[in-house]
Chain A
Amino acid sequence: IRNGGKSDSVNGHKSGSNQSPSLKSDLISPTMFNLKTLKLKTKQQELLIRVTILCLVYVLAFITRLFSVLRYESMIHEFDPCFNYRTTLFLTQKGFYGFWNWFDSESWYPLGRIIGDTLYPGLMVTAALMYWTLRFLRFAVHIREVCVLGAPFFASNTTLVAYFFGKEIGDLGFRGRPCGSCTDSDLPWLHLEIRSYDNEGVAIFALLLTFYLFVKAVNTGSLAWALASAFGYFYMVSAWGGYVFIINLVPLYVMVLLITGRYSMRLYVAYNCMYVLGMLLAMQIRFVGFQHVQSGEHMAAMGVFFLLQVFYFLDWVKHMLSDTKLFQAFLRITVTTAVVVGVVALGALQLGISHHGRAASTLLLDPTYAKDHIPIIASVSEHQPTAWSSFMFDFHSLLFLFPAGLYFCFKRLSDATIFLVMYGLTSMYFAGVMVRLILVATPAVCLISAIAVSATIKNLTRLVRAKNKVPSTGSSKGASSTKSSSKASLDQSLPFQRNGAIALLVGAFYLLSKYATHCTWVTSEAYSSPSIVLAARGAYGNRVIFYDYREAYFWLRQNTPPDAKVMSWWDYGYQITAMGNRTVIVDNNTWNNTHIATVGRAMSSYEDEAYEIMRSLDVDYVLVVFGGVTGYSSDDINKFLWMVRIGGGVFPVIKEPDYLVNGEYRVDKGAAPKMLNCLMYKLSYYRFGELMTEYGKPPGYDRARGVEIGNKDVKLEYLEEVFTTSNWIVRIYKVKPPNNRW
């Protein structure tokens, strides 16, 4: 299939430059021979091939995401998707207004959470619409299936949009060439968002759609396309907080166009329509609301909007005043007044509106900000700066095709390629700041790399072909490309050029097929392992699957009173509410730092102090995740320092150094006394000291950290163990009522 995609790019090239199809025989493709026998015209052939390739890619993009569904089962794997699933279920049951006004009393006890106000409903509404449509068509699907398969479906759609986007950009110089290779190469980011049912799946689709439509609008100057891009933007806003990227990138792009003197009426129409309508539409999303006109993150767009008006106005004045002197005087006066008014307005803004810059976006501008100020943001692994290795891992060969693509973009500068360059550069920067934003960068990287690939291949094939029929080159091409003809004349001086070109072509194909293999491997290995079901290799190389999470949530659902409150670290909140159906104190929607800090403080206090906190929060059960038996390393003990930091950020009684020994975090005998006696330690290692985990090691040997624990004789006074899963991954404790006689 991949090879098909490749040959498409070559085909596209050929048909674009109206060359004879002789080269097809060079480039392995059995369908091509069939086509020859069908005796279609070149255009029709091209269309047929293109549609076929697209269909194949569409299907491929879908099925690469099914690894985890096939390997495990159709279920919601991750933390956030659990919540999305729960809300979607609610939406399908209670209808849109029920969902819109949903006050969820089962999370963030006792504060509760207004779901409609604090989420981006795009994903849920999309899934519900798909569900209702399927039901209407008499497909008796369960909403879970829709949710699980919705993400692959949208990924496929995204490839389509990427194709059109590529086509739109290639329209000027490359004429549809990149399409094939681009669809081919955007496999990796399809893989990235394999993470089942999450906002990003829809959001990347919406993001690319908006960009595509906007570029189209700029290229055509059509109001209709601008309107369409405004709706694309609306969809994006409804789906993901990453819409801020669009609303900053687009004005930045406009700004660059203005500076480079590419201001045009097309741009004016496209941007104004997109911004004004997009803003009005975005404000309909309750989570965004007036932020769109008040917060600092959206100011750039507004500024550029006014700047465009000024440009237009100046153009008009210039047109009216024929005298240059007069115009300059006018300019001087207006600029002075504008500056004065601007300063006053800015001052008023500073006084009037408090800038609650959201921390995650501040983080983008200053990557070290969170580390110093907001531990809760820094604690999320998705918010960590990206490691070089993960760039290599995700992008593979695209990493060095990317600069090449940039070069080709600059070579053929147009409004569209400028956009692509801007998109690529900014998103690369953001991807470097935050791991999860690699998602945003991948489409850009793919497209730019695709340009590199298609431009290279185009040049190479041209060389090959030029050698083939030296006399015809000059005559048949004529005016279309004087450059290539001059190249062709140059070629004659180099004797091994054709062989070299063929060798390079083969190399390129090898590279791309390697890349495709890598992508499939990454998808299968790295992005298809759910966190709810853990898989490991057994002693004989067989696959061992730990169902501990599901076991624990099922136990909660079956054995605790329906109004029981479960305290756990916030990572597991969504899953406990969605799968365990019990009220939680904090969950993954980390909107209230104090509440999370309270839980962090409880976990890092001594048992009696923690008991007071838990009583005040009406906690009935405490759930901890423990990997000491299985060697599962992302357990609560390894997250514990973040609990200390977040707790200490609000309650200064919790001090990080109390849990460290010489700045070192340890759980063995040399650990800090407070560490050995805090609630989290006790709950994790309760009865662990009696357990042999590994042959040849003393009892109480922690396999996740590779040490023998320091406090083997853990006694619990205020809590009692009620459930531990078969591999000890999840442990549930019940908070005892106060002593009857004391």
Chain B
Amino acid sequence: MAKKLSIFIAISLVLSLCDAFNLDNPSSRRILVLLDDFAIKSSHSLFFNSLQSRGFDLDFKLADDPKNALQRYGQYLYDGLILFSPSVQRFGGSIDAAAILDFIDSGHDLILAADTSASDLIREIATECGVDYDEDQSSMVIDHTSYAVSETEGDHTLIAADDFIKSEVILGSKKIEAPVLFQGIGHSLNPANSLVLKVLSASPAAYSANPNSKLAQPPSLTGSSISLVSVLQARNNARVMISGSLSMFSNRFFRSSAQKAGSSTKHQKSGNEQFFTELSKWIFHERGHLKAVNVRHHKSGEVEEPGMYRINDDLEYSVEIFEWSGTSWEPYVANDVQVQFYMMSPYVLKTLSTDGKGLYSTAFKVPDVYGVFQFKVEYQRLGYTTLSLSKQIPVRPFRHNEYERFITAAFPYYGASFSM
């Protein structure tokens, strides 16, 4: 009995290792927060409170705490990581840049906030995620047109940005009215990286330079190519947020009023709180997480899944797709899910029809080509996790006795053979 139990535990352990996301609940639960000093815990308490109120279990540690560890005995202790330690030169304990990247590559989430003082370590992690901070250590994003109007006139490093990514999945269905206040270092996206996205970009008039010195040469980063907040959804659906400003998350920015220069409307509250609440929901998989289950295919009129099809068979294919709502799996409804019957190139491309309860299905005829085919569903939509299903199935030609017995073209021969 004990043996059985231990085997069971071992199996479940292995399963939990294989599956970065808990299938029942993909949201991150346990989050490690690494800070430069504990003052940030109180100065950014609004952001942390909003996470805790949503049920997250935050574990605050100093970045250079020698007891820091992401995993023990090969198993990760946390589902998510928040790095609010822009100036850290070296993490304590067993954490280093490679460990953090492994953490992402095994399917966990990360929020990274840098600052003007961003250390090489933080920059390296960002670079590995497709984001390049401005190389000039002291540079900040400056915008002389869409700065936030404040008491101290002339400080154009406090930016009121409202150029959001147009995605309800990432930023929630409620439109963010107030501009988001930003003060910090800008970054650009690596064009070679196809997965990283700008969530909040600077205005076309922005540029990145040292505000305290005269511009000696044209700034390296200008205009809307400057990203203020970016996200990366890795191929294994781990999500990463990278921001160039730690103060964006602070209580001060959350509470302060915001007025964009040149705009008459003064918002009582900046958009930061809404922006980060919604974005953190996305980052920690409370939204936009899909799963596909019960991939089935069979010949029309049959139930059993065959090991091989024959050319010109009629078949039915179905898959169930659900979306995680934060608390439960809800049917995902869309009209653009397609299945390919694929061998080097798609021979059949069919849009699946849904019954509104998560079941997607279609029926088609196997093409008149034999080979090893795949049922492929490649569903990539902005903000949603990638669904990439493929199921291999060979298609054979007719057997020797499956051809038509009598064909009209052969009647002369039948006649000839009978006349003999």
Report which A residues bind B (CB closer than 8 A): 97, 100-101, 103, 105, 109-112, 114, 116, 563, 616-617, 737-742
Contact = CB atoms under 8 A, between A and B. Distances in A.
A101 B400 contact: yes
Interface string B341-380: 0011000000000000000000000000011111000000
Interface in B361-420: 370-374, 392, 394-397, 399-400
B399 A101 contact: yes
A97 B399 CA distance: 9
B236 A740 contact: yes
Nearest to A104: B394
Contacts of B374: 110
Nearest to B233: A741
Chain B interface size, as a band, is: 20 to 34
B194 interface: yes
12 contacts: A103-B370, A110-B374, A111-B372, A112-B370, A112-B395, A617-B344, A740-B234, A741-B104, A741-B193, A741-B195, A741-B232, A742-B194
Interface string B212-245: 0000000000000000000010111010100000
Contacts, number: 63
Interface in B226-280: 232, 234-236, 238, 240
A112 B232 CA distance: 39
By CB atoms of chain A within 10 A, which of B343, B344, B372, B395 has the most?
A: B372
Contact of A742 (B195, B238, B399): B195
Contacts of A741: 101, 104-105, 128-130, 193, 195, 232, 234-235, 240
B396 A103 contact: yes
B393 to A, nearest CB: 9
Contacts of B14: none
Nearest to A617: B344
B308 interface: yes
Contact of B394 (A100, A105, A617): A105
A110 B194 contact: no
Contacts of A737: 235
A174 B129 CA distance: 90
Contacts of B371: 110-112
Nearest to B343: A110
Q: Which 5 pairs of residues, A with B, have the shortest CB-CB distance?
A: A103-B396, A105-B394, A110-B372, A101-B399, A740-B105
By CB atoms of chain B within 10 A, which of A97, A101, A617 has the most?
A: A101
A737 B396 CA distance: 29
Contacts of A116: 400
Nearest to A616: B344
Contact of A110 (B128, B240, B344, B396): B344
Contacts of B195: 741-742
B1 interface: no
A355 to B, nearest CB: 23
Given A101-B399, A111-B343, A741-B129, 19 more contacts: A101-B396, A103-B397, A105-B308, A105-B372, A105-B394, A110-B344, A111-B372, A112-B372, A112-B395, A737-B235, A739-B235, A740-B104, A740-B234, A740-B235, A741-B101, A741-B104, A741-B130, A741-B232, A742-B192
B372 A109 contact: yes
Interface string B57-85: 00000000000000000000000000000
Contact of B308 (A103, A616, A617, A738): A103
A424 to B, nearest CB: 40
B400 A112 contact: no
A616 B232 CA distance: 25
A114 B129 contact: no
